A and B are shown apart, each in its own frame.
Chain A
Amino acid sequence: MPNASLGRKYAGQPRRSSQPLRAATYLLLAITAALWAIPLVWLVCAAFKKPGDMWSYTFMPYGEPQDKLIAVDGPPNEEPWVINGQEITVGSAPGCSVRLSNDAVPPLALRLTIEDGRWIVRPGPGVRNVAINNETKAEHKLSTGDVLHIGPCSLRYEEAHTPTTRNFSDLFVHFNFGRYLLNSFFLTSAGTSISLILSSLGGFALAKYNFKGKHALLILMLATMMIPGSVLLAPSYELICKMGMMNSYLGILLPGAVGAFGMLLFRQAMLGIPDDLLEAARIDGCSEVRIYWNIVMPVVRPMSGAFCLMSFMGGWNSFLWPMIVLQSENLFTVPIALSQTIGLQGDNLYGLLMAGTFLGVLPPAVLFFMLQKEFIAGLTAGAVKG
């Protein structure tokens, strides 16, 4: 009689996991996943935050959707003035009660206009300068915390606590971010394309041909793979200087095109191609190049996909060598620009930094989505087979 208790067919059979165990597992996984995801979620939110809101809200700002002027040292229950519309005039009256007016009533002390989503304060007619933060100026772009002085009164400006795309537009307008992105895209994709062709060609030759020096080459490449890249930094730098490729794209593309790892990967993948297939093609009169291009490459598509992704990610995030080679600011790639240029601007620009990081992370993420399966297959193929 089968052991009816708990639905087991025989003793020792792993029993169908109980509900509490499952719940506990899900809970554990959920907590860990939350911990893992939170910094990235924060990153995305921070990219859309105004400087004043960066630390006040953990994730997205959700407070007052209005810009306000608040009387400094005013009576405690005094309502802040909500500033709306495209242009506001602020006048002062005796008794330090500041009025907002939309009709032209002299005397006018300050005029506020919206430009590019930011309030700019300028003197009203009859007034020479505006007084902001104890300074007198001809005009001023308001940011949270600025204090306007009108006669004896002071008004503190507080920007609406809402998400903004300002960081992104600042990146492209004030910093050369479009250029940095273009540089990154070009260097990474050109590098990957070149690498792909060279590595697959070489891998093909190593896999399917017997030629003089084949074994020597193989051993040489395996040997060089054991040497960490830092050994090459100093002499490569000297070489690039001598060849005049310093501070140019070539200085990144050429040294980056060679990686023994890729060639060996393709060799591994191509070893499995049946030789009869190639012979048949030869009998049909195909040239070797056509065999490579039209027969072999389609067969190793999964490997190509994985290789492309790995190469792209490696190239996109590459930092040390580009930092050494690229000196002109208009050649910078996104990682270098973020840490060396934008990152050093000062602490009120965290939003900018996070926006740049967000944009910098997007392309490899998108590519990964497209190539998930190949990537994981490629990753694990080598590891699991040992």
Chain B
Amino acid sequence: MTELQDAARRLLEEGTVQVVIGWEAGRRGARPVFVTDSADCDRLVFDARCVHDLAVFLNPRRSQVAGLGKAAVVVKGCDAKAVAGLLRESQLGRDDVVLIGVRCGGVAAGPDGAEPPALTAETVAARCHGCDVREPAGVDVLVGAPQPEPPVAPTPDERVAALDALSPAERLAFWTAELARCTQCYACRQACPLCYCERCVVEKSEPQWVETSPHARGNFAWHLTRAQHLAGRCVGCGECERACPVGIPLGLINRKLQQVVYQLYGYTVSDDPAVPAPIGAYAVDDTQDFIR
């Protein structure tokens, strides 16, 4: 932890960056913090409660963050994939940000709690299943000791398979019940590090492609759009599902699309910005079994 604080302090004192975005221990649990004064660096923590994907603050259109000056951001291995996504899509220059990578042995499902919880199969976040990036790639500073593999959490795969086994009409009924609760608050969009459009299609009204009335049909259009726009880009950080105030299992849709892009195009989301995302690229011999 002091290693993280020292790295942040050095970056601020040297004037390399004007703000360090990390986590602090708040009253109810870990929460994001913006440190602009090197004297405050001892507030920075990293433990299993630090679930937030702080790459969301690197969105160049978040002017209130960009206004603080050049940022250093603390990233876990999975967060580094989101940063790689922003770099891949030219939303960010590699020199515009300093990445402080923390070695991570898994995080809890949520940030709450006065103390970091002991990680077990029950408490660990689903996204930590089969983690291959306990050491973040492509960072400027790497802190922390090497971490053991996180406990094996139940994956959403079983629930995805259970849905796949149903008939289309049954799936429609399942998602109607789930999506009927959506109020189109767009918390899922705001929490997503890769939903960065200056003007979202849902806010365009001429023509109005997505019905903004929060009935199931408008909600279907919204969630279809959100999922399709994230296909092959979603890093599986699970922030959308965590942000959802009515508990819609968005992770199932994201997970399904991760499986689809892997099956169709052999693509798994990469922490290397040079690897192109599957949508927006193509191969001449792509599968076309579904096309007559």
Q: Do A and B come from one complex?
A: no
